[in-house]
Structure 1
Amino acid sequence: MAGHGTPTTPLTPAADGPRSLGIAAASWHAALMDRLLDGARRAAANAGVDQVTVVRVPGSFEVPVAAQALARTHDVVVGLGVVVRGETSHFEYISAAATEGLARVALDESTPVGNGVLTVNTMAQAEARAGGPGADEDAGYAATEAAIRTFRALASLPQ
């Protein structure tokens, strides 16, 4: 079950940053994307992030390349998108490419990257996870929170 076991400690500003957040966001499913972006921005504000840059790309397949460009100039990055299963194998290819691409960006750029690309079977599942009124989860907030908490954890390591 998604969301089960989510950290309960509130996300608050901290001296150990981060100061800048880059958001690579797909354009497909605009209403859901707006909700994901709202959640990401709210998490950034709660954490005291000073600078938020949003780059919109056509779809979830393009999110990783935008995330990589952002990772070169931002402390943390979040990828946001929505991929809904259809009648062809397109879903598997796009879901895998987005997920693997975001993981590669994090490792290649040594930058915490939150994965907020929803990969769901139905629009109802996407709506339940995109945040906003009546949603069970807020994946935009959760992905941003994960990237910020990872940044803080890495900052606490001995140099």
Structure 2
Amino acid sequence: MSGAGAPDKKPFDASGLKVAVVAASWHEAVMDGLLAGARRALVEHRVTDALEVRVPGTFELPVLAQALAEQGYDAVVALGVVIRGGTPHFEYVCSAATDGLTRVALDHVVAVGFGVLTCDTEEQALDRAGRPSSREDKGFEATAAAIETARTLRAVRGEASVDRGA
């Protein structure tokens, strides 16, 4: 399991941030868990300006993330899941989503939370989806990471101070 070594971060007040969550629609049970985790992170960080958008699949995440970055969102969280099958489709979709979301972050200098699960089986995805029986909550983690990165970007730009104790 990949969750070992995660930092112990405490939520902070991010009410001044504008955050968008873009979620794929494939694998409904996994996506419901990821979205629930993202929503918990938004609440725990007191984000009041949040938008949730759905797209057909993981491949479509980068284009929506880019459109939202262009609209001035401080953070964009991308949630999706790709489960390996018997064809190279898995590699193509995973690579396209990763490369596209990285481009959005760098081209727009915006925090992008990477909540795309790339798993061999549906069971592995469910175990990371933040459901009651899951061992990890990647929707929460990706959202919290994006919020923290957005706060740090604001500080680097001189727009706000950073609380290094959080």
Q: TM-score range by the shorter chain?
A: over 0.9
C-alpha contact (below 8 Å) 1:27/1:56 kept by paired residues: yes
Q: What CA distance in whole angstroms lies between the structure 1 residues aligned with 2:10 and 2:87?
A: 41
Map of 2:38 onto structure 1: 40
Question: Structure 2: 5+ residue runs without aligned partners?
Answer: 159-166
Other structure's SS at 1:156 match: helix
Map of 1:3 onto structure 2: 3
Q: What CA distance in whole angstroms lies between the structure 2 residues aligned with 1:146 and 1:67?
A: 16
Question: Structure 1: 5+ residue runs without aligned partners?
Answer: none
Residues 4-153 of structure 1 aligned to structure 2 (within 5 Å): 4-14=4-14, 18-73=16-71, 74-153=73-152
TM, length-normalised to structure 2: 0.89
Q: What CA distance in whole angstroms lies between the structure 1 residues aligned with 2:18 and 2:3?
A: 26
C-alpha contact (below 8 Å) 2:29/2:126 kept by paired residues: no
Check if 1:156 corresponds to 2:151: no
**Structure 1 136/151 Cα, relative in aligned 2: closer, same or farther at 3 Å?**
same
Deviation at 1:158, TM superposition (A): 5.5
RMSD: 1.3
Question: How many pairs are equivalent?
Answer: 157
Q: Percent identity?
A: 53
Question: What amino acid is the match of 2:117?
Answer: L
Question: What amino acid is the match of 2:64?
Answer: A
Other structure's SS at 2:140 match: helix
CA offsets 1:26-45 (integer angstroms, 9 cap, x no match): 11011111110110111111
Other structure's SS at 1:154 match: helix
